[in-house]
Amino acid sequence: MTIIEAIKYTKEILNKHNKQEHEAEILIGHVLNKDKLYLYCNPDEKLTDEQKSKLENALSQRISGRPLQYIIGYWEFYGNKFLVKEGVLIPRPDTEVLVEKALELIKDIKCPRIIDIGCGSGAISISIAKERDGSQVFAVDIEDVPLELTKQNAILNKVDDRVKVVKSNLLSAFDENSFESFDLIVSNPPYIKDEEIATLMDEVRKFEPITALSGGVDGLYFYREITSQSKKFLKKGGFIAYEIGHNQGEEVKTILYQNGFDEIKLYKDYAGLDRVVTALWQGK
């Protein structure tokens, strides 16, 4: 089987199982360890037996519903490559808006100190560190897999000197009496309501970590906790930036308002849905 035949064959199988055809080039590229351009520049190259069986294996995993990103083991976010595996949420394009807004908030702050709560693959922490020279990011998670992966991804993206992983239940591992306060607390916390978990796409519900998705009965548990805990750690003039579910804008704004935050702003994602809330802490 040649590369071009493999692409055609893989597309047919994906199609038959209601998966997106364009995943074929990604799967074959992964098996051959080559990019898409190589595949189309070398259409007549033959796959070895080992490559054929690797492709069959990857394809059957994909058909069984395992997300493409976990099969190939990496994904791109904010123009950078991140290793991903079961145990961390797959970085989503929606979250790039959060990174964009976070970077805007800290653009005039010298050597900003940042905490990212629930770091997962490290996509947010590392993208911020990479875009912003002199920043220092504390990537927090309660689970070991995300902390380990964030460490690896920080090395891969050459920001391991400025991204420090901290095992912590939200902010419990930080010392509120220390003088080391922060300019920004950023988070894409779990925000799906308990009753909505069952309605998530199979691929999400069966393969991605429920701990990264479930935000309690009303989906707002983590916004309440992080907002009230953050006040002890933010500098006067520091910010909070959250990713939110598309219908949580008003509720999250209310939580921030009730906790004494100012300049509360809501932003949309590329699909036109409410996705990010930011707020200023004036120190009350």
Sequence ranges of the binding site for substrate? 188-191
Beta carbon nearer to ligand GLN, 146 or 190:
190
The continuous run of DSSP H or E covering 104 comes out as helix 95-105
Say whether residue 204 binds ligand GLN (CB under 6 A): yes
Residue 184 lies near ligand GLN (rule: CB under 6 A): no
Which position among 3, 84, 186, 213 is part of the footprint of ligand GLN (CB under 6 A)?
A: 213
Query: Alpha carbon of 240 to those of 14, 79, 104: distances in Å?
Result: 42, 24, 12
Buried b (16+ CB within 10 A) or exposed e, 262-280: eebeebebeeeebbbbbbb
* Per-residue mark of binding to ligand GLN, 136-175 (x: CB under 6 A): ----------------------------------------
We find the least distance from the C-beta atom of residue 63 to ligand GLN, in angstroms, to be 21
Considering only residues 80 to 119 of the shown chain, the ones binding ligand GLN according to CB under 6 A are: 92
Cα distance between residue 256 and residue 141, in whole Å: 22
Of the ranges 16-24, 52-60, 99-107, 183-191, which one interacts with ligand GLN (CB under 6 A)? 183-191
Q: Which stretch binds ligand GLN (CB under 6 A): 62-70, 109-117, 174-182, 188-196?
A: 188-196
6 and 58 Cβ atoms separated by less than 8 Å: no
Between CA 130 and CA 80 the distance in angstroms is: 9
- How is residue 2 annotated by DSSP? B
| Residues of the binding site for S-adenosyl-L-methionine | 118-122, 141, 188
Beta pairing, strands 113-117 & 182-187: parallel
Q: Name the site residues for ligand GLN (rule: CB under 6 A).
A: 92, 188-192, 204, 213
